[in-house]
Structure 1
Amino acid sequence: MIKVAMTSVYVDDVARAHAFYTDVLGFETRTHMDLGDGTLFVTVGAPQGAQPDLELLLEPGEGPIAEPYRRALYEAGLPCIVFSVDDLPGAYERLTGRGVRFTHPPQEQGPVLAAVFEDTVGNLVQLVQPKE
C-alpha cells in the first residue's frame, strides 16, 4: 500500500503561513527548523493525531516554477489544497469569526458541500464536507 506522507504548499512567507495554519486553522507544528540562512523548514499536520502520518510542508513560493504555478492557480480560482471537515457550516462560522476571508460560503458542488478561503500567504484553500 502506498500512502501520502507529505505534500507541499508554496507560500509567500513560511513564518506567516506557519502562524496562519497553526493559530487560525488549528494545525499542529510537526517540524520547525531554521536552516541557518533565514530559510525555514516547517511542516504542520492535523491536530490531536487525526492524521499522524501526513504532513503539510510550507514551502517558499518564489522561483521560476513555484511562482507561475501559484499565480495561475490563484487567478483561475483553483484551490492549491482541499481539506475535509465534518461540519462545514460550523467551520465556516468559526473561521469567519477569526477573520478568514472566504471567496464563497458553503455551497453544494456535486457530492459535497464546499467553501473556499484565502490562506493569507497567496493561496486558495477549499474545505469540503460530503453530503449525506
Structure 2
Amino acid sequence: MRREDLPAPQTGILLTHFLTVADVARSRAFYTDVLGGEAVLDENPCIVKLANAWIIMNPGGGPTPDKPDVTLHPPSDPGTATSFLNIRVADINSCYQEWSAKGAQFLTPPIDRKAELRCYMRDPDGYLIEVGQSTGLLQGILADPPAES
C-alpha cells in the first residue's frame, strides 16, 4: 500500500464517499471488477480508489462514541434515495456497454437530458449511481427544471 493511493491529504482536504455495505467482498468486487477501481485496502475499512476519488466501505453497525445516536445500514428501500454517487464520464455509451457486459444493472439506457446524457445503475447494496456525460452543458444549454409536484 502506497501513501499516494490512500485518501490522506498532506495539506488541505480531500473528498471521499463512504458506503455502508452488507457484504464488503461483494461490494469491493463491484467497484473494482465492474467500474475499474483499485482496491488499496481490502477490509476494515475497504478502500477503493476509483478514478480521482475513493470509495470507503464497511458493514453497518450501531452507535459509536463519535456518533452516539447514529446507526449505519445499507439502503432498505430501493425506491427512495437521499443521496447518490455521481460518476462523470467522457463517453457514456462506451461505459454503459462495458459496465453492462460486466454485470452492472442500469435502470435505463443513457437518456439525452439536453445538458447531458444520463443514466442510473445500482451497486450490489442498492445504492443509486448516476452516470453522466456533459454535452449541451458545455455550450451553456441547461437541463429542464424539475416538474412541479
- 2:24 corresponds in structure 1 to 14
1:51-70 equivalences in 2 (<5 Å): 51=52, 54-61=53-60, 65-67=71-73, 70=75
1:42 equivalent in alignment to 2:23: no
1:94 equivalent in alignment to 2:94: no
Contact preservation (8 Å) 1:79, 1:125: no
Greater per-residue strand proportion: 1
Report the CA distance between 1:81 and its aligned residue.
0.8
Report the CA distance between 1:109 and its aligned residue.
3.1
Query: Which runs of no fewer than 5 residues in structure 1 stay unpaired?
Result: 34-39
| AA matched with 2:75 | R
- 1:124 corresponds in structure 2 to 128
Q: How many residues align?
A: 119
Q: Deviation string for 1:1-20 (max 9, x for gaps)?
A: 95433221222211110011
| AA matched with 2:24 | V
Supply the distance in 2 between the matched residues of 1:114 and 1:66 (Cα, whole angstroms).
29
SS at the partner of 1:70?
coil
SS at the partner of 1:5?
coil
1:26 equivalent in alignment to 2:36: yes
SS at the partner of 1:44?
strand
Query: Which protein, 1 or 2, shows the higher relative CO under an 8 Å CA cutoff with sep ≥ 6?
Result: 1
Greater per-residue helix proportion: 1
Q: Deviation string for 1:26-57 (max 9, x for gaps)?
A: 10012224xxxxxx3111112xxx42xx3210
Higher mean alpha-carbon deviation, 106-115 vs 75-84, is at 75-84
Report the CA distance shift for 1:87/1:113 in structure 2 as closer, same or farther (over 3 A).
same
SS at the partner of 1:66?
coil
Supply the distance in 2 between the matched residues of 1:78 and 1:32 (Cα, whole angstroms).
27
User: TM-score w.r.t. structure 1 length?
Assistant: 0.74
Q: Which structure has the bigger radius of gyration?
A: 2
Supply the distance in 1 between the matched residues of 2:91 and 2:117 (Cα, whole angstroms).
10
Report the CA distance shift for 1:79/1:108 in structure 2 as closer, same or farther (over 3 A).
farther
| AA matched with 2:58 | E
- 2:112 corresponds in structure 1 to 108
Supply the distance in 2 between the matched residues of 1:57 and 1:19 (Cα, whole angstroms).
13
